[in-house]
Structure 1
Amino acid sequence: MISPSAAIEPFRIAVPDHAIETLKAKLALATFPRETTFSNDSNYGAQLDDIKRLATAWRDTFDWRAAEAKLNDALPQFTTKIAVDGHEDDLKVHFVHAKSERKDAIPLLFCHGWPGSFLEVIKILPLLTAKAGEDEPAFHVVAPSLPNFGFSQGTSKPGFGILQHAEVCHKLMLRLGYGRYATQGGDWGSPITRAMGALYPDHVVASHLNYLLGTSPPTLFSSPLLYLRHALDLYTPAERAGLARTRWFRDRGSGYAQLHGTRPHTVGFALADSPVGLLAWIREKLVDWTDAYPWTDDEVLTWVSVYAFSEAGPDASVRLYYETVNRPSDAALSKAWNGKVPLGLSHFPMDVTVVPSSWAKLGPVVFEKRHEHGGHFAAFEKPDELVADLRTMFGKKSGIGAKLPF
């Protein structure tokens, strides 16, 4: 008999009416910054006219119930309770789980980051689970809402960092019967899935990343030849462009991370109380971190609404930065060489960190592709390209598929 704590329950999003009414009431009372001659200069951050327009649409015309129904129809959702060492004994975890009809499908954990969520999987889910050609693998896809995000439970103790998120994701895969599985991650999903490979190498058969966190240039002592190449700027044009993009993010786009990593509660007050503040905080990233992606108002407002209506509140999502900054040994685990788990890398030019291939040797790289277009939210922005990379990496002829135990 399955214990109640191990049960898997079907889930449908059903935000209470009063939460929607409160949101609209706050939007109706919003106070915006005074207009200046440079209020719409994106160098200063979110643009006043853009945020006013979106806030008005959020209040007057955006239909959350329609968006909610679309997510419920497109994404098979569930919850279960997972015990986390040193933390909750029964942490409620919300997740998407879609199985392919293919008997040889590969279990794949899709792990989001901030300001993403489980909804990023909506475009790639039908592509990954579909029956494909003989060499093209299909996947059973699991996409959790990380704790403190979306419709998963908030955590109650300090210290819930990368290792705890890795533990939750691993135990979820085991709960679903996947003793061996692959992972895919961007943003926080990158260090979390890397940590999973380090902690559970007998279970993680391979990892694919579309973002690399914390990679550094080679040093004279670590790699003299690569250091010389770096000093002489012996990079391809695409790698130089990536380094320029990385410098832009470091110098002009990473202030939010300093706030999240040092004073998450302070910025959390604004995110929890002000829908306009939350909208501006996330909207800026959706614009800056993508490659001119043509966001519709419905897409933006659905994305932000998942945070506004999240179970733990939008402020809870930023605490992972603080826990990582204050536990450097945990972060180091996800950056260390791991020779046991094959690694696939997809580089998109308008991501926030785009490093040369020589910096990315964190494990045995079995697949790598540098794309000409795309940004940080690859699954949502460039779903066909990301799926093609996964199919090539895990293909029985083109990749490592023939060696996997599925």
Structure 2
Amino acid sequence: MSKMLFVLSAFVGLVLASTDKELLTPEFVDGLSKIWWGPLGEEDKVSTDIRPFEIKFTNEMITDLRYRINNRRKVTPPLEGIAFQYGFNTDNLDYWMDFWANKYNFTEREAYLNQYPQFKTNIQGLDIHFIRVKPEVPEDVDVLPLLMLHGWPGSVREFYETIPIITKYCEHNGFAVEVIVPSLPGFGFSDGATRPGLGEIEMAAVLRNLMRRLGFEKFYCQGGDFGALIANNMVTLYPEEILGYHTNFPVSLAPEMGYLHMQATKPDTLGIAMSDSPMALFAWLMQAVSGGSRRSYKYRADGGLHDLYNPESLIDDVMFYWTENKFTSAVRLYAESFNMRTFGT
């Protein structure tokens, strides 16, 4: 019964995602899996090996980060009576910058983020980073593969607390779940494309090829935010391969959509500020976290950030953007997806 419920939970998503299937030709779908997104001329030089990977916060990166935080410019104070209605309340930035530079233990957080087995493998010219956790079960127990996809302003960090719950074997269920959690192309520790065109549809093909690389011809998937849009496309493109689909993002009306327009039209300009200033990066990401958590949080001077999250977890997430300077390549996903090429498919 539990296995049946796991499958049936995907039904609505499958129906919604498959409405445009008649517009897609086999040639189009097959072609998506063959597009090369890496540097030209290296098509025959890339290994298909699956390589162990560990997150590393280098001393050089930490020193530079602290210097930028400690030498930040004084910001404009908020207007009287304004909390988060105009964006991140700047009265809170000193607390967060002090915590990041002086209380965030980089060594302990690095160990925390490396608690699960992590790997990289090259898919269509891009090194894709992913977490893979297998349940400990008797040999005769069915293990179901589950691909879990994050969005923006998130990262694989979203799933750290849920991975042990999902992969814990319950004999009553009669089956277990193995999770594969990739950093989306251009996010975290996954490569971004070297040329335009890698949007939600194309990412669906890349991540399906990742699952094929791992030996899964059929699998379940879960997605939130942009991960949901990508998973929708996986269901549409590969209906025979997706066993079930769950999303926590079936419909969303975001309280502040200005960031979407900016990231869909001028991602590289935004990226100049976010790459240079950790304060700017933190504020831009966390205003979205606040707005996406509770609509009422825009009337809170602290954005409600302390209600649902601890400070370490929020800065962990920001580190997935700062460590390898991935803000720009991450938000290009908006420009590559919210366009006529995508909507016309």
Q: TM-score, normalised by structure 1?
A: 0.67
Question: How many Å separate the matches in 2 of 1:34 and 1:189?
Answer: 35
Quote how far apart the aligned CAs of 1:49 are.
2.2
Q: Which consecutive unaligned segments of at least 5 residues does structure 2 have? A: 1-44, 295-303
Matched ranges for 1:121-160 at <5 A: 121-135=159-173, 137-160=175-198
Question: How many Å separate the matches in 2 of 1:155 and 1:45?
Answer: 30
Question: How many Å separate the matches in 1 of 2:69 and 2:196?
Answer: 32
Match of 2:85 among 43, 50, 73: 43
- The structure-2 alpha-carbon separation of the partners of 1:37 and 1:188, relative to structure 1 and needing over 3 Å to count, comes to closer
Matched ranges for 1:72-111 at <5 A: 72-73=114-115, 75-83=116-124, 90-102=125-137, 103-111=141-149
Match of 1:308 among 300, 306, 322: 322
Q: Which consecutive unaligned segments of at least 5 residues does structure 1 have? A: 84-89, 215-245, 334-406
Equivalenced residue count is: 287
Quote how far apart the aligned CAs of 1:172 are.
0.8
Matched ranges for 1:215-230 at <5 A: none
Matched ranges for 1:386-397 at <5 A: none
Pair 1:257 & 2:271 matched: no
- The structure-2 alpha-carbon separation of the partners of 1:177 and 1:274, relative to structure 1 and needing over 3 Å to count, comes to same
Pair 1:279 & 2:317 matched: no
Equivalent position amino acid for 2:111 in 1: A
Pair 1:177 & 2:215 matched: yes
Residue 56 of structure 1 aligns with which residue? Answer: 98
- The structure-2 alpha-carbon separation of the partners of 1:41 and 1:78, relative to structure 1 and needing over 3 Å to count, comes to same
Question: How many Å separate the matches in 2 of 1:136 and 1:56?
Answer: 49
Quote how far apart the aligned CAs of 1:7 are.
0.8
Pair 1:8 & 2:21 matched: no
* Bigger relative contact order, structure 1 or 2 (CA pairs below 8 A, ≥6 apart): 2
- The structure-2 alpha-carbon separation of the partners of 1:198 and 1:17, relative to structure 1 and needing over 3 Å to count, comes to same
CA contact (8 A) 1:64 1:302 kept: no
Does the residue aligned with 1:94 lie in a helix, a strand or coil?
strand
Quote how far apart the aligned CAs of 1:294 are.
2.7
Q: Identity of counterpart residues, as a percentage?
A: 32
Q: 1:52-106 deviations in whole A, cap 9, x for unaligned? A: 2101111122112211111112x210111111xxxxxx31000000112343121
Question: How many Å separate the matches in 1 of 2:174 and 2:74?
Answer: 51
- The structure-2 alpha-carbon separation of the partners of 1:117 and 1:332, relative to structure 1 and needing over 3 Å to count, comes to farther
Match of 2:107 among 57, 61, 65: 65
Equivalent position amino acid for 2:327 in 1: P
Match of 2:308 among 286, 290, 294: 294
Query: CA RMSD, aligned part only?
Result: 2.0
Quote how far apart the aligned CAs of 1:117 are.
0.6
Question: How many Å separate the matches in 2 of 1:65 and 1:147?
Answer: 26
- The structure-2 alpha-carbon separation of the partners of 1:113 and 1:332, relative to structure 1 and needing over 3 Å to count, comes to farther
Does the residue aligned with 2:128 lie in a helix, a strand or coil?
strand
- The structure-2 alpha-carbon separation of the partners of 1:54 and 1:196, relative to structure 1 and needing over 3 Å to count, comes to same
- The structure-2 alpha-carbon separation of the partners of 1:164 and 1:287, relative to structure 1 and needing over 3 Å to count, comes to same
Quote how far apart the aligned CAs of 1:40 are.
5.6
Question: How many Å separate the matches in 2 of 1:195 and 1:67?
Answer: 34
Equivalent position amino acid for 1:270 in 2: A
Q: 1:323-377 deviations in whole A, cap 9, x for unaligned? A: 112245x3566xxxxxxxxxxxxxxxxxxxxxxxxxxxxxxxxxxxxxxxxxxxx
Residue 65 of structure 2 aligns with which residue? Answer: 23
Question: How many Å separate the matches in 1 of 2:174 and 2:292?
Answer: 30
Does the residue aligned with 1:65 lie in a helix, a strand or coil?
helix
CA contact (8 A) 1:190 1:213 kept: no
> Which deviates more, 179-188 or 119-128?
119-128
CA contact (8 A) 2:223 2:249 kept: yes
Does the residue aligned with 1:157 lie in a helix, a strand or coil?
coil
Quote how far apart the aligned CAs of 1:48 are.
1.4
Q: TM-score, normalised by structure 2?
A: 0.78
Pair 1:194 & 2:232 matched: yes
Match of 2:202 among 157, 160, 164: 164
CA contact (8 A) 1:11 1:79 kept: yes
Q: 1:263-313 deviations in whole A, cap 9, x for unaligned? A: 111111111111000000011122221145432221121111111113x52
Pair 1:322 & 2:335 matched: yes
Equivalent position amino acid for 1:325 in 2: F
- The structure-2 alpha-carbon separation of the partners of 1:4 and 1:316, relative to structure 1 and needing over 3 Å to count, comes to closer
Quote how far apart the aligned CAs of 1:39 are.
7.9
Quote how far apart the aligned CAs of 1:38 are.
2.7
Q: 1:204-246 deviations in whole A, cap 9, x for unaligned? A: 11111110368xxxxxxxxxxxxxxxxxxxxxxxxxxxxxxx3
